[in-house]
Structure 1
Amino acid sequence: MSEQQIRELMAAREAAMTARDAATLGSHYAPDVVAFTLAPPLVHRGAEVIDVEARKAWFETFEGPIEYSTQDLEVTVGGDLAWCHALNRLSTTPKGAPAGFELWFRSTVCFKRVAGEWQITHAHDSVPFYMDATLRAAVDLKP
C-alpha cells in the first residue's frame, strides 16, 4: 500500500504542475524540506520551498499551458521512509520568449511518513552537463 501511496502523491504533483496548483504542490512538503531545484540558489529550505505565493508567481512567468510529466518512476519504501526517482519532462513558454522549450531532467524525491501521512523531506532535480570546454547544461537530451 505504501508504494501505491507514493505513486499517487507523485501523480498528484504531476497534475498540480500542469494545473498550476501551487497550494497542492506546497501541501506535499515537510516543514523542514530541503530542495535542490533547477533554479538557483544551490539549496532551498523549508518555508521557501512551501511558499504558495512564490510558486504562483513562478507559474505566472509562463504563457499558455505548462506540460509536466514523469517517466520511469521507481519507488522504494522501507518503514516510514521512501524515495523515488524518475525522468521528468517540462514544456512551456516563458513570457516574452519567442518560442517555448522542452526540458527533460532527473528527479529524486525522498519521503517520511509522519502521523500516517507521507511528506516530501528532500527533492533533487538536475540536468547533466557536457564535460567539455563549454560546460553547457545538456538540456537537449531525451530518453
Structure 2
Amino acid sequence: MTTANGFRAQRDEAEIREQIGKVAEALRAKDIEALRHLYTEDVVSFDIEPPLQHIGIAAKLENWARVFRFFETLTYEIRDLTFTVGAEVAYGYAFARLHGTLPSGVTANGMWVRVTYGMRKVDGAWLIAHDQVSVPLEISSGKGVVDLEP
C-alpha cells in the first residue's frame, strides 16, 4: 500500500525531473530568462570552468551566456538521472553532455561530465540551489579524462 507521503514523493520527483528537463529545453533554445526561473537566487555552482565556485543567479547565468556565445546551436543530453527526494530538499546526479555546432559550422561533440543537483522547494516550486559538474581526473598526469561515455 502506498502512503500519502509516497504519493507526494512520487509527485515531487516527477516535478523535479520536469525542472531538469526544462534546463535542457532552455539550453537548446538559448533562453537565459527560462534558466533564471529554474535556479534559486542564491544558487552555488561548482561548474567546470574556473573559479572554484560561482555564487548567485547572475554568476550562474553568465556561465550559461558564455556557453551560448560558444555554440551556434546546442543540445544538453542527460543520462541516468537519479534523485532522492525529501519534503523540502532533494539531491540527484546524472551524466550530462553539452554538444552542438560552433559558429564556424564545425560540430562539437562535447564530453560527458558528472553532474550533481541540490534542489530546494521554494514557494511550492523545486529549484536548483546547487550544482556541481566534474570530469574524472587521471592522477598521474593531473589531467581531466574527457573521452569517457556512460
1:137 to 123, 144, 149: 144
Give the secondary-structure state (helix, strand or coil) at the position aligned to 1:102: coil
1:80–1:89 CA distance, 2 compared to 1 (3 A): same
- Mean Cα deviation higher: 19-28 or 87-96: 87-96
Q: Tell me if structure 2 keeps the 8 A contact 1:109–1:122.
A: yes
Aligned length: 140
Higher share of residues assigned helix: 2
1:37 to 30, 47, 60: 47
Structure 1 unaligned regions, length at least 5: none
2:93 to 81, 85, 94: 85
Structure 2 unaligned regions, length at least 5: 1-10
CA distance in 1, matches of 2:105, 2:143: 21
Equivalent AA in structure 1 for residue 125 of structure 2: E
The TM-score normalised by the length of structure 2 is 0.83
1:75 to 57, 61, 83: 83
Residue in 2 aligned with 1:113? 121
1:108 CA drift (Å): 0.6
**2:10 matches 1:3:** no
Give the secondary-structure state (helix, strand or coil) at the position aligned to 2:20: helix
CA distance in 2, matches of 1:49, 1:16: 17
1:60 to 44, 60, 69: 69
1:130–1:74 CA distance, 2 compared to 1 (3 A): same
Please report the RMSD computed on the Cα atoms of aligned residues, expressed in angstroms: 2.0
1:93 CA drift (Å): 4.3
1:47–1:10 CA distance, 2 compared to 1 (3 A): closer
Equivalent AA in structure 1 for residue 100 of structure 2: T
Q: Tell me if structure 1 keeps the 8 A contact 2:19–2:127.
A: no
CA distance in 2, matches of 1:29, 1:93: 26
**2:30 matches 1:20:** yes
> Between Structure 1 and Structure 2, whose CA radius of gyration is higher?
2
Equivalent AA in structure 2 for residue 137 of structure 1: G
Deviations 1:79-112 (A, max 9, x none): 1111111000111344569662321000011111
Equivalent AA in structure 1 for residue 36 of structure 2: G
